[in-house]
Amino acid sequence: MTLENVSSNKVFGGWLKQYNHHSDTVNCQMRFAIYLPPQAATQKVPVLYWLSGLTCTDENVMQKSGIQRIAAELGIAIVAPDTSPRGESVADDSEGAYDFGLGAGFYVNATQAPFNTHYQMYDYVVNELPELIEQHFPVSQQRSISGHSMGGHGAISIGLKNPQRYQSISAFSPICNPINCPWGQKAFNGYLGTDKQDWLEYDSTELMKLTQASVPMLVDQGSDDSFLAEQLKPQTLIDVAKEQEYPLTLRMQEGYDHSYYFISSFIEDHLRFHAKYL
């Protein structure tokens, strides 16, 4: 598969690069960013996959979180895909809303037309992108997964469904119970249809009820997050984790909101958490 290098910047002794490539999975051109730490010059390194939130791209975490400094120290590559397919042929919300369509793929495999033509983000993140990364870059098959908001939903649900593929899971402000919040209900209805049984396959709280595996998980949530009560619902995940005796650490961080100021304040904790398992 051909990769087109879009940008390249040296950061903390490593390299931050953006690439375009054609994706057979989502049937359009996709972009991702990768940070290769200094250690990648001489050996294969493990990878942390970062899934971003609504309206974001691969650039948000790489430009706003300060993630490269700790990744360079720990010798971990960071891979950030886009949040949805892009392009003129890709279906979008009919009213141009921010919470559905472009920039809002929700990391599911859409089954409903016209979105099923391109919105196969689950398969892209779980299968196609890692295969591409492991083919073209000096990385190992040791993987962990993290994300923010919609991307936190993606990281937890993907990690729970694929415990053999990921050593650890973390999230900032994840949508924990999308079948019971407005963002999730809108997205799942549009991508997956009206049969709510199909929605359960991508709901982190429901998936934790069923999992037999125990991938270590760290979640940080800001107490002053304006989306906390209506959209994110972390208590649902806490309650199920207690019932299942799942190894979840969920920290409520006093005074923090939903922004990258919050993420940048605790991103070091998350990388050091993943490093213990990678």
Annotation says 21 is catalytic: no
Q: Exposed, middle or buried: residue 111 (CB in 10 Å: 0-12, 13-18, 19+)?
A: middle
Tell me the two tokens of residue 250: 């969920």
Neighbours of 8 (CB within 10 A): 10
Judge whether 225 and 258 are in contact, CB under 8 Å.
Answer: yes
Triad 243, 208, 206: Cα angle to 5°: 105
Of how many residues is the chain composed? 278
Residue tagged active-site, from 118, 148, 153, 258:
258
Distance CA 212, CA 264 (A): 33
Judge whether 155 and 148 are in contact, CB under 8 Å.
Answer: no
Residue tagged active-site, from 92, 203, 220, 225:
225
> 90 — phi, psi (to 5°)?
-85, 130
Annotation says 239 is catalytic: no
Annotation says 149 is catalytic: yes
Residue tagged active-site, from 149, 170, 173, 204:
149
Peptide bond preceding 178: is omega within 30 degrees of 0, i.e. cis? no
Instruction: Report the catalytic residues.
Output: 149, 225, 258
